[in-house]
Amino acid sequence: MSKMTLAQKIGQMLQVERATCTAEEVKKYHLGSVLSGAGSSPKNNTPSDWLEMIDSYWCASVESDDEHLSIPILYGVDAVHGNNNISGATIFPHNIGLGAARDSELIKKVSKVTTKEVMACGIDWVFAPNVALAQNYHWGRTYESFSHTPEIVNRYTTNIIEEMQFDFPHQGIIAGIKHWVGDGGTIHGIDQGDTILDWPSLESTHVAPFKQAIKSGAMTVMASFSSWNGDKCHGHKFLITDMLKTKLKFNGFVLSDMEAIDYLSNDIYQSIGISVNAGIDMFMLPNNWKEFIEHLHSHVELGTVEMDRIDDAVKRILSVKVHYGLFDKVRPTLRKMSNNQSFGSNEHREIAREAVRKSLVLLKNKDNILPLNKSSRILVTGKNADNLGHQCGGFTIDWQGVTGNELIKNGTSIWQGISKIAANAKHIKDVENENDYSMFDAAVVVIGEHSYAEGMGDIRNGNDLLIQSGSMVNGELNIIKPYGKTLTLADLHPEDYQTIKHLTDNNVPVITVLISGRPLIIESELSASAAFIAAWLPGSEGQGVSDVLFGTHDFQGKLSFPWPQRDENLPTYKSNQYSPSNKIKPLFEYGFGLQYKN
Residues 239-275: tens digit of each pLDDT: 999 999 999 999 999 999 999 999 999 999 999 999 9
Provide the mean pLDDT of the chain: 95
Of 124, 454, 496, 525, which residue is the catalytic one?
454
Stated length of the chain: 598
pLDDT for 472: 77
Known active-site residue 454: yes
Contact 83, 110 (CB under 8 A): no
Surface-to-core class of residue 171, CB atoms within 10 Å of its CB (0-12 exposed, 13-18 middle, 19+ buried): middle
pLDDT category at 485 given cuts 50, 70, 90 is very high
Of 55, 191, 257, 458, which residue is the catalytic one?
257
Nearest C-alpha neighbor of 387 from the set 367, 417, 344: 417
Q: Decide the pairing of beta strands 572-574 and 577-579.
A: antiparallel
**Contacts (Cβ under 8 Å, ≥6 apart) of 369:** 442, 509, 511, 530, 531
The pLDDT tens digits of the residues spanning 188-208 come to: 999 999 999 999 999 999 999
The pLDDT tens digits of the residues spanning 354-382 come to: 999 999 999 999 999 999 999 999 999 99
pLDDT for 123: 98
Long-range contacts (CB closer than 8 Å, 24 or more residues apart) made by 103-106: 103/358, 103/556, 104/155, 104/156, 104/159, 106/354, 106/355, 106/358
Contact 564, 587 (CB under 8 A): yes
Return d(Cα 97, Cα 518) in angstroms, integer.
Answer: 10
Return d(Cα 121, Cα 344) in angstroms, integer.
Answer: 12
Known active-site residue 25: no
E-only strand ranges, 89-149: 125-126
Nearest C-alpha neighbor of 537 from the set 567, 513, 509: 513
pLDDT for 569: 52
> What domains are there in the chain, each with its CATH number?
76-334 (3.20.20.300), 346-558 (3.40.50.1700)
Return d(Cα 107, Cα 109) in angstroms, integer.
Answer: 5
The full 3-state SS of 201-230, as one line of letters, equals: HHHHCCCHHHHHHHHCCCCEEEECCCEECC
pLDDT category at 562 given cuts 50, 70, 90 is very high
The pLDDT tens digits of the residues spanning 501-549 come to: 999 999 999 999 999 999 999 999 999 999 999 999 999 999 999 999 9
Percentage of residues of the chain with pLDDT beyond 70:
97
Reduce the DSSP state of residue 414 to 3 states and report it.
Answer: helix
Return d(Cα 107, Cα 358) in angstroms, integer.
Answer: 11
pLDDT for 583: 56
Nearest C-alpha neighbor of 515 from the set 539, 496, 536: 536
Reduce the DSSP state of residue 554 to 3 states and report it.
Answer: coil
Return d(Cα 30, Cα 201) in angstroms, integer.
Answer: 42
Return d(Cα 233, Cα 194) in angstroms, integer.
Answer: 10
Lowest mean pLDDT among 86-90, 149-153, 370-374, 572-576: 572-576
pLDDT over 80 (residue 39) = yes
pLDDT category at 575 given cuts 50, 70, 90 is very low
Contact 138, 460 (CB under 8 A): yes
Cis peptide before 234 (omega within 30 of 0): no
The stretch 484-494 carries a mean pLDDT of 97
